[in-house]
Structure 1
């Protein structure tokens, strides 16, 4: 792949698998590209890909990522959500959006780990995503990797304009986010739920769908600490990635 300006992120993703203690038995992932009224999991054995992007080179619409789904893992996830009183459902027709297959093409290129995608709430409720993550924390005891994809900065108008007027703001928000993730878990979660009070929050996230998967991951982390494992400046904007446990 050609990743002009994003080489450091690509290298980070390519080196991710070797940092894990063992190969995951399965993956549950929430991306910033699927919203539903209630939490929904993919249940297909062989999910297709959804090319939910526009104006990219022709070859990007021929990418393949034939990772299997897992109806069993999807059923387990639904049972855990229901146990916590969270209504949920399965979707046998839904495929993987680019928030799944683009990073996984780099991080897990063999496409041999079963993947289940989980939607976020259409209400964009940060507390709801934290609760969903907390409900699914027990999956980690079964060697299931919990993944959240999005962006720590997602103001596409500023990205594409090439302007620099929000560069300082992106650094302010990114610094707040990194400091928050490294707090003790209870304080971390309280601050994440108040993310709109962070400096530059609504400039960096005019709409929060690319930030909320982080709440899901933080919830699933339980009492595990969080650390910043990726930090870069891309197109003048500060970006970070995080890991728990």
Structure 2
């Protein structure tokens, strides 16, 4: 039987769907991240991605044998819609994920038809372009708080020892209402920089209480996250770590409003 090394838990900011086609530091970083993990640790047995773009009232796991590409966006160039990342799933692993969550007291279902949305396929296609590693998606909880998502991650933690790479995919900052056509390399807004710096300090110093209460602990939290969907995968990735401080893997901005930071939790 093949043995797999213990994988980390990651949080990545996926930005605009155009990231897959746009030359920028965040794209360069993600394009090398899979190779970096493989050199240091090895190839994962599978990837479990918690994407901001799948919300459900309760936890839901994709259980399809093959995940088809979902183009869950509109108004973009035809080249983006031509991008595909159809990848193998792992129904047996989906059963194991669901069982782990149920044991933790988290209501869970398996969706046998769910494909892979751009919050997952954009970063994963950059990380693993061959598309030969099985992928599962896990929905974030619609209306659920930070503590719920942290607990979700904690329940998934043992999967890392079985070679499953856990990837939370969202955004450190995500106020698309503030987008006014700024170019990809536009200088970041001060309210973006301040919140991003606060999150980075809290993650790298292991200040979990502050992060879990981020909405009341930073004055610009609400302006950076008018809705909370894109920050919730961070708390799942934190929970799937081993409890120590996270490591900052990448820092950059795109379009003046999106902090593209990535973190690793071991």
Pair 238,47 (structure 1): closer, same or farther in 2 beyond 3 Å = closer
Q: Would you say 1:242 and 2:266 are equivalent positions?
A: no
Q: Which residue of 2 aligns with 1:88?
A: 108
Q: Which residue of 2 aligns with 1:192?
A: 211
The 4+ residue runs of structure 1 with deviation greater than 6 A are 163-166
Partner Cα separation in structure 2 for residue 144 and residue 2 of structure 1: 27
**2:252 aligned counterpart, secondary structure:** strand
CA contact (8 A) 2:174 2:258 kept: no
Instruction: Pick the aligned partner of 1:123 from 117, 120, 143.
Output: 143
Give structure 1 stretches of 5+ with no counterpart.
none
Q: Which residue of 1 aligns with 2:3?
A: none
Q: Which residue of 2 aligns with 1:9?
A: 26
The normalised TM-score by structure 1 is 0.93
Aligned-pair CA distance for 1:158: 1.2
Partner Cα separation in structure 2 for residue 51 and residue 66 of structure 1: 12
Give structure 2 stretches of 5+ with no counterpart.
1-19
**2:251 aligned counterpart, secondary structure:** strand
Q: Would you say 1:54 and 2:71 are equivalent positions?
A: no
**1:109 aligned counterpart, secondary structure:** coil
Pair 92,214 (structure 1): closer, same or farther in 2 beyond 3 Å = same
Aligned-pair CA distance for 1:242: 1.1
For 1:159-212, what per-residue CA distance to the aligned partner results, in whole angstroms no more than 9, with x for missing partners?
23549998111111001100110123xxx3212211112231011111110011
Write out aligned runs for 1:193-208 (5 A): 193-196=212-215, 197-208=217-228
Q: Which residue of 2 aligns with 1:137?
A: 157
Aligned-pair CA distance for 1:126: 1.1
Root-mean-square deviation (Å):
1.8
Partner Cα separation in structure 2 for residue 243 and residue 159 of structure 1: 28
Between 42-51 and 163-172, the greater mean CA deviation after superposition: 163-172
Q: Which residue of 2 aligns with 1:18?
A: 35
> Of the two structures, which has the highest relative contact order with CA contacts closer than 8 Å and spacing of 6 or more?
2
Q: Which residue of 2 aligns with 1:176?
A: 198
Aligned-pair CA distance for 1:44: 0.3
Aligned length: 240
